[in-house]
Chain A
Amino acid sequence: MQLALRDITKRFGALVANDHISLTVEPGEIHCLLGENGAGKSTLMNVLYGLYQADEGQILLDGEPRHFSGPGDAMAAGIGMVHQHFMLIPVFTVAENVMLGHEATRLGGTLDLDAARARVREISDRFGFHLDPDARVEDLPVGVQQRVEIVKALSRDAEVLVFDEPTAVLTPQETDELMAIMRQLRDAGTAIVFITHKLREVREVADRITVIRLGKVVGEAEPTASNAELAALMVGRAVELTVAKQPARTGDDALVVSGLTVTDAGGQVHLDDVDFTIRAGEVLAVAGVQGNGQTELTEALVGLQQHVRGSIRLDGHELVGRSVRDVLDSGVGFIPEDRQIDGLVGAFSIAENLMLDRSTDAPFVRRGAVQRDALEAFARDRLTEYDVRAPGIHTPVANLSGGNQQKVVVARELSRDLRLLVAAQPTRGVDVGSIEFIHKQLIATRDAGIPVLVVSTELDEVVALADRIMVLYRGRVVGIVPADTPRDVLGLMMTGERPSGVSA
């Protein structure tokens, strides 16, 4: 089935999320929709899937104009979607999830689970997925859950399949497998829309590429285009894809972590006997698929975790058991992984956010009163220094773009006297321009002789920043390897396999 979008326009108040976007996807073709976060890709797909109503424009299937008032209509017309955040009910089984919404029933509305199981087995065998129809979805690994999403779409005879940022949660190996599945589906005649911002994947699998920037189609590209060309199209200017840095000039051991074990209130172990050391002036990057203990590691370093055993020594001083205030005062800077939840107070101004973790004494507070003048002068300086694009220092941070919000967090943390910087997902959901800037700041921090711990689930970022790479899997250290370790080796390590010759 051929899918065509004609002049789709979608506005949210004054913001034009999609501005006359046109796109055609042929059967048996993988059409890549490339764009930065916030470029309008997901909005476009939500229009296609009936979750949003377009303000202008048409959706055509095989030349017929169609109108979808909800996802039910879109699915009935043969459009399936694999969502970035899986739309699966965690406590249901695979079969129940697949049948939901188009349940086969026996007399009196009784569910026909046998029919659903058979359907899951049939589709899963066709593509070699090996899905157990009776497994509970929450017990399955993320990669397998994604297959459940694919089976769900296929069980409704989808002829157009939309993959919305499908690789964000996958290991490199799982990503390769997904690519193979996409090719297999294409060869079976399915029209595939693949939404991503990762250049490597686009070039590997796309038959055609459409680039979107700020809600508009800015061009088409061939899969043979180079990374630099694609990045320039996506961002609108030439971009430096690599981080320029000198070899590290390392000093003494600064952060020494030994036997670190973190459990949650339910007794589940998230970090299991972790040992590592970071020297002054060195970046240790932590690689691994999301949810393998990275969050707990960074939070334990700052004192945010409750059940911590083992030792964290910074310049010889023990940090375990001390309050967050104490830890911050001993010179630990922390860029949390979710700026909206842990990094900023959205309704506060930029200036107020810049003093969030310095609200106890001078220079911003004297005798319990906030020193407005000192704060505003400081905020104005940081705004220029860190290139935060905002109307002024009194703008609420919630009104800023992701990249500018993140720069506010980085500015706040780096403007203290640091002895250690912990950066969790420093560029998640940030535009390419801001990524460049933040990376430069992190490297500058390292060059000032400060030990830096960077956690990222993007292997590209890990490789770009690291002096050494530590791979975490299920809360344990698989190995600590040099920054020039081949990607496929890192990928394997992220699945828990330790290459010979690598010591833990």
Chain B
Amino acid sequence: MSQTVTPASVPEAAEPVRIAVVSAKTTVVLAVLTLALAAAVGLAAQSGDTSFRLAVPTDVVRLPTVSVPSTATAWIVVVLMAVATAESLRRYLARRPTPLWLVALFAVVGLVGFLAWAAAGGTIPVIGLLAGSLLLAVPLVFGALGGVLGERVGVVNIAIDGQLLLGAFAAAVVASLTGSAWVGVVAAMAAGALVALVLGVFAIRYFVDQVIVGVVLNVLIVGVTSFLFSQVLTENTESLNTPPRLSAVAVPLLGDIPVVGPILFRQSPLVYLLYMTVAVVTYALYRTKWGLRVRAVGEHPKAADTVGIDVIRTRFTTILIAGAVAGAGGAFYTLVSVPAFNREMTGGAGYIALAAVIFGKWDPIRSTLAALLFGFASNLQGVLSVLGSPVPSQFMLMLPYVVTIFAVAGLVGRSRPPAAAGLPYRKG
């Protein structure tokens, strides 16, 4: 058999063949939200104007307050939302995904419409709403950064909530004893690292299932802090549970910028620590030798081992740092929010931080943004209940959690966790 071989034509494609798979999820969600607002406005029309206040009394340059007719604005917004939904549907039918900018635009417009309707006859303090969102997001962002670091090195950290809670406890007690809020922050970080150490010993050293250890730790810390609170702290409130506060400090110049200044730069020093932590974690993870090794261990620990990286040690040091970061978030509760420890005061924030990790696709910046979104949902609920909106307050209390579920279940899209997250590493 003689055959001459010619570089023939058969599978010419250099790339693997793909059939586009476009999910209808986004389109459906947009349609449901549009209908929901239309139904709200149609069934419970509100009369009067809604004002959006864009300045605070201390501003150097004061922007005017914007007033719009409530019902008319809401209807205009419903129409705009319907247009955006139609565009999303058109793209879906053409087998193309809905772009992120369309979703973002939809969200912003929809929010304005919702506020115009919900706060009819009242004034929405836009600055206060956003600045408060940032403040409420502080423990979520710290927790999420701790979660990102842990998962990137291959350890799933369910114990974020425990780290926040023990951090809050330690910050309250140590700051009360020493009279220094900053020593309290350091104590909070140490407490978070302590939780991480326990997690590490069981999960890394003894290969216990990471999720189970994390859940058990959370329950344990709720129990321990509640016990100590009722047995020790309430007896000695004066000496042990009256920490000094980290009150808001305005940054010179930056704090005077209209709108942005009061939101970002007239905050508690813990918020400034947060900015630095986000920047440092992001830089360290992507640009340094340490970060490269952390990511390698989280993706393929055996490969890291074969190039001489100590997997166990890298995992331990990284989750200790992650624990310290999450613990710092705990200081928010007792040094910024309420200057006293109370039992179970995190209210499950650690789990929302965990959701932010996933929603943020294991990236520090995206996870921070996700945590800010959840903070916004919490604060919106508070602001609206003060304004007396037509939405029942019980429903508004659900808002942060509903947003979490939608975000994680519906809108994440394709994302890939670090390949070795949750898997213990055994040599050989």
Contact = CB atoms under 8 A, between A and B. Distances in A.
Interface string A195-211: 00000000000000000
A71 B428 CA distance: 12
Report whether over half of chain B's contact residues are helix, strand or loop; otherwise say mixed. Answer: loop
A191 B178 CA distance: 65
A478 interface: yes
Contacts of B11: 473-476, 478, 496
Interface in B370-427: 414, 419, 427
Interface residues of A, number: 57
B19 A267 contact: yes
Contacts of A501: 3-4
Contacts of B100: none
A44 B271 CA distance: 55
A94 to B, nearest CB: 14
A72 interface: yes
Interface string A44-79: 001001011000000000000000001111011000
B292 interface: yes
24 contacts: A72-B309, A81-B306, A87-B307, A89-B304, A99-B292, A100-B293, A101-B308, A101-B309, A105-B288, A111-B292, A265-B21, A268-B16, A268-B17, A272-B17, A473-B10, A474-B13, A475-B17, A476-B11, A489-B3, A497-B8, A498-B6, A498-B9, A500-B5, A501-B3
Given A87-B300, A87-B303, A96 B292 contact: yes
B3 A110 contact: no
B307 to A, nearest CB: 3
Nearest to A88: B303
B419 A90 contact: yes
Given A103-B289, A268-B18, A89 B8 contact: no
Interface in B1-36: 1, 3-11, 13, 16-21
A109 interface: yes
B289 to A, nearest CB: 4
Contacts of B287: 110-111
A499 B304 contact: no
A30 B369 CA distance: 56
Nearest to A72: B308
Nearest to A101: B307
Contacts of A265: 21
Q: Which 5 A-B pairs have CB atoms at the shortest separation, nearest pair first? A: A72-B308, A101-B307, A267-B21, A87-B303, A498-B8
Interface in B292-327: 292-293, 295-296, 299-300, 302-310
B227 interface: no
B272 interface: no
A187 interface: no
A76 B308 CA distance: 9
Nearest to B20: A267
Contacts of B207: none
Contacts of A504: 10
Contacts of A92: 292, 295-296, 299
B290 interface: yes
A500 B308 contact: no
Contacts of B288: 105, 108-111
A486 B428 CA distance: 41
Contact of A111 (B6, B289, B296): B289
A225 interface: no
Interface in A344-376: none
